[in-house]
Amino acid sequence: MSYFPLFVDLKDKNILVVGGGNVAFRKIVKLLPFEAKITIVSPKICSEIAELLVQNKNLTYKQKTVDIDDIKNAYIAITATDDTSVNAFVAQNCKNNNIFVNSVDDIENCSFLFPALIKKDSFVMGCTTSGKAPYVSAYLKNIIENDIPENLDEIIENIAVLRQELKLKIKEQNIRAKVIHLLLEYYQKHNFNLGLEELKSELNSLIDNVYLKN
């Protein structure tokens, strides 16, 4: 079975992390850039998580065993323990309350998978093997990440500006998509090293050419 990739806004959402070890730490670090409110529930935590608590106002620690009330308040839940009974307890209660849950290395108790993530400013990419071979996801993520242009955020902002201009000039979505595709090819041929005015000039030329062909 394959999993459908779904990108959601986590800003100010309540995320429950059950567990306080190194695995939980790694999940928390990946979640922090998305500005969620993260509650860690565990009888004890590692020193790395303790440091994060001091540095981040969006983190809360409850020194206890997880219970139903902790789960009911969550937007999504992540269990990062090696106790399968805890995983099963959290997963079942999440299911009962329509809450998405991820149990690390325990796919039977997952309703979503935590992907290998690439995040560069507004660009986010998730890689998964649908739980079959997560090390493959991590390996491919590193390959892709090394090929991403350093000025990616500038590229995104430039194309976003031109996309809005294109909407004013062309009503047909399929033609807009074709123009943007050709513009990105042109941008890439110049190693993504073009200013906005140069891109605008090429955009106008492409609009004329695409309309003539259509």
At 64-95, the pLDDT tens digits run 999 999 999 899 999 999 888 998 999 999 99
Express as a percent the part of the chain with pLDDT over 70. 98
Could you tell me the sign of the dihedral formed by the alpha carbons of 74, 80, 83, 88, in that order?
Answer: positive
Claim to verify: residue 125 and residue 92 sit in the same structural domain: yes
Element of type H or E holding 173: helix 173-189
pLDDT greater than 90 at residue 106: no
Claim to verify: residue 115 and residue 167 sit in the same structural domain: no
CA distances from 56 to 45, 125, 180 (A): 15, 24, 40
Claim to verify: residue 71 and residue 125 sit in the same structural domain: yes
- Domain assignment of residue 89, given as a range: 14-136
For the chain, how many structural domains are there in total? 2
- 19 inside domain: yes
> DSSP class of residue 107?
G
Claim to verify: residue 90 and residue 192 sit in the same structural domain: no
Give me 198's structure tokens.
Answer: 């140069």
Claim to verify: residue 96 and residue 31 sit in the same structural domain: yes
Look up the pTM and report it: 0.85
Claim to verify: residue 118 and residue 172 sit in the same structural domain: no
Identify the band that residue 32 occupies on the pLDDT scale cut at 50, 70 and 90: very high
Question: What average pLDDT does this structure show over 2-17?
Answer: 93
- 196 inside domain: yes
Whole-angstrom distance, CA of residue 116 vs CA of residue 135: 9
